[in-house]
Structure 1
Amino acid sequence: LPFVLLTRDPVEPGGVRGPAVRPRDFWVSPRLHPDFGWAWLTRFLVQLGNAIGTLYLLYFLKDAVRYPDPEMGVLYLTLLYTGGVVVTAVAGGVVSDRLGKRKMMVGVSSTVMAAGSLLLTFRHTWPAAMVAAVVLGLGYGIYVAVDQALITQVLPAAVDRAKDLGVINIANSAPQVLGPALAAPIVAYAGGYAGLYLASTVVTVVGGVLVWRIRSVG
């Protein structure tokens, strides 16, 4: 709100309109802009791993942990997760700026998140769920700060920044839809909740590894 109220937009010349927007204008060629393509893919995979690991918590607590009040359990875990994000979001960004390292920090954050989901692969207990929530939050806090900075460094052209960030936002929102859709068959047919959190671990690690394919960012 302070930003909206106190920041003035530059005044555009009156009567000047850009060309009509066409659907093909939203396409960003990964062949012409490979770093942008890799950044989009890594964001999608890490967010998908996070979605798989968090969106089924209610059922995990109810069916596997057998927590007596799973709804309140989700609230407690959400608070722990959020606390972890708050602790590392700013600190992770500061460390990345001072080191000048983006890819390394994204790799570290992905590894931390993978460790949290890997814990739930083997331990279906309430204490393990609390530890995993904190670990996932700590890793995700670093990730959201550093990966956002990384993405701003691989945008193809200044004139299309808003549109390109909108394309990146698809990598944020699509996993929230796909996560539950993928989780259901995994739980039912591919190893139950152990299989679910193993899948979350693998997807997150792959996302963290592929960030090294980005060449223009340190």
Structure 2
Amino acid sequence: MPRDRHEPTTDELELAEIDAATAQPVTAGSAAGSQIDDPSPAEAGTTPLRRVSSGWLALSSIANFGVSMAFIVPLSFSLAVRISDLAPGHEEVLGYVTGIAQIVYLIASPLIGVWSDRLQSRFGRRSPFMLGGALLGIIGLLVIASAPSVLVIGVGWIVGLMGWATAGQAIQNRQAETVPEEQRGRISALTGLLAQVAPVIGIGIAYAVSSSTLLVFIVPGIVGLICVLLFTVLKKEGSSATIARASAVSVKTVLSSYVFNPRKHPDFGWNWLGRFLFFMGLYFNTSFGAFFYAQRLDLPVKEVAGTVSIIGLIGIVAATAGALGAGFLSDKLRRRKLFALIGAVLFVLGAVTEAFAYSFVTLLIGSLIMQLAIAAFSAVDQAIVFAVIPDRAQTGRYLAVVAFAQKIPSGIAPLIAPFIITIGAVGADKNYTALYLAGAVLALIGGLVVVSKVKGVR
């Protein structure tokens, strides 16, 4: 690419400093460590990626499974139960708690991403963030379990989300800079599938120990920590102790480093937008899941866990078909966007079905279609993300930008949804029909953006 013929600005010089610090090694030697699958930080972005072993793929996916369980079970069930105990009749509080926590993480995530790219450690750049994030996440869950007020629940979830989201992002960073193109569909499929299965199993566990508030929160967290430990210990990351030591990073530099030029990287930009819209639709339709099922089935919120668990367990079949079918077929056919569109269309069908469902059978059918759709879209779009990253040497930096496309919706959708469900609401019943239809429209637009605008991926 030819350089622009102008003098670099201060911001450009600061970005160049980050680029050099994260991409250039002190020595040309391979990083120390027993994990031969991972490229060293010195090699990132400069050498072709080697195929990784089946064991690496499996343990990476299992680590993501554990983090997903610890992260999603509170979002989809246990937080709603705690809030209904402390603030009965105020469902909107759940949206405020989860939305504020997401906003706090969004503010902090650029610093975490750059810090991860620049980390000098004998344990690598990503593993310390996986383990540290999991430990912080467990602390947050303990705070929520013992919280005497909604305010303390909110603080606890900020801590918990910060930890588990950091651990999950570190796993994705390692996948993106390690797995070659010909295996990206399958790792995205496995990761997406287990992310769908995790909350189902987690809610089943929570229901089994529902007599203890502490266990409802801590058991999924312990599972998450064990899964992360398995990956980091059995598939050790190469040392990053030899990467160049960089100067201190200012707040301005951190924020500037997450501004990318969509004209220079159009595929990255368009995929970001499509992903943003799809996940906005998804979070419209999942943020109030426990309350939605309770209203449609005329059950107390505390008794919804069993129903949600049954629907989720049956939905594992649909999630398996969606993730593995789309991921592996997209590798074989070398076509990603077709399956992204199929996922978006199926999401619309499932959302519309649930929007007008008032029986267990209809809710089950709608949920099965949606799980099929979410798994298919997530698996393929993750492979697209890995393909369009502008610079693999700065994976943490760019995947933090990609994470915005999912985290911003997860932060603002719960804040917008309370207004939508009150439109035309009668008595205590909320207008979940309008919420689910709005989610369907956004998801479809997101899928169409990816299919029509991302040119560098088939």
TM-score for both structures, normalised by structure 1 = 0.89
Partner of 1:143: 377
- Partner SS for 1:93: helix
Amino acid at match of 1:120: E
Paired with 1:65 and 1:187, the residues of 2 have a C-alpha distance of 17
Cα-to-partner distance string for 1:4-47 (whole Å, 9 max, x where unaligned): 22334155537x21354412011112222111111111111111
Residue 163 (structure 1) shift: 0.9
Answer yes or no: is 1:41 the counterpart of 2:269: no
Partner of 1:13: 242
Q: Is the 8 A contact 2:284 2:417 kept in 1?
A: yes
Q: Is the 8 A contact 1:65 1:126 kept in 2?
A: yes
Identity, % of aligned pairs? 27
Paired with 2:380 and 2:360, the residues of 1 have a C-alpha distance of 31
Q: CA RMSD in A?
A: 2.2
Cα-to-partner distance string for 1:129-170 (whole Å, 9 max, x where unaligned): 111111111111112211110011111122222210111112
Q: Is the 8 A contact 2:343 2:373 kept in 1?
A: yes
Residue 78 (structure 1) shift: 3.5
Paired with 1:64 and 1:107, the residues of 2 have a C-alpha distance of 30
Structure showing greater relative contact order (alpha-carbon pairs closer than 8 Å, 6 or more residues apart): 1
Partner of 2:10: none
Partner of 1:102: 336
5 Å-filtered alignment, 1:146-157, equals 146-157=380-391
Q: Is the 8 A contact 2:296 2:357 kept in 1?
A: no
Structure 1 190/171 Cα, relative in aligned 2: closer, same or farther at 3 Å?
farther
Answer yes or no: is 1:74 the counterpart of 2:308: yes
Partner of 1:62: 294
Partner of 2:80: none
Q: 2:361 aligns with which of 127, 136, 144?
A: 127
Q: Is the 8 A contact 1:67 1:126 kept in 2?
A: no
Unaligned runs of 5+ in 1: none
Structure 1 181/82 Cα, relative in aligned 2: closer, same or farther at 3 Å?
farther
Structure 1 196/17 Cα, relative in aligned 2: closer, same or farther at 3 Å?
same
Structure 1 19/41 Cα, relative in aligned 2: closer, same or farther at 3 Å?
farther
Paired with 2:387 and 2:285, the residues of 1 have a C-alpha distance of 29
Amino acid at match of 1:58: A
Amino acid at match of 1:47: F
Q: Is the 8 A contact 1:26 1:163 kept in 2?
A: yes
Paired positions, count:
217
Structure 1 203/93 Cα, relative in aligned 2: closer, same or farther at 3 Å?
same
TM-score for both structures, normalised by structure 2 = 0.44
Residue 67 (structure 1) shift: 4.2
Segment drifting more, 59-68 vs 135-144: 59-68
Amino acid at match of 1:158: R
Structure with larger Rg? 2
Partner of 1:198: 437
Paired with 1:59 and 1:199, the residues of 2 have a C-alpha distance of 18
Residue 122 (structure 1) shift: 2.7
Structure 1 56/8 Cα, relative in aligned 2: closer, same or farther at 3 Å?
closer
Answer yes or no: is 1:24 the counterpart of 2:256: yes
Residue 71 (structure 1) shift: 3.9
Amino acid at match of 2:457: V
Q: Is the 8 A contact 1:121 1:197 kept in 2?
A: yes
Amino acid at match of 1:214: V
Paired with 2:424 and 2:340, the residues of 1 have a C-alpha distance of 29
Answer yes or no: is 1:52 the counterpart of 2:289: no
Amino acid at match of 1:207: G
Answer yes or no: is 1:92 the counterpart of 2:319: no
Cα-to-partner distance string for 1:23-76 (whole Å, 9 max, x where unaligned): 201111222211111111111111111111122222222333424643433333
- Partner SS for 1:95: helix
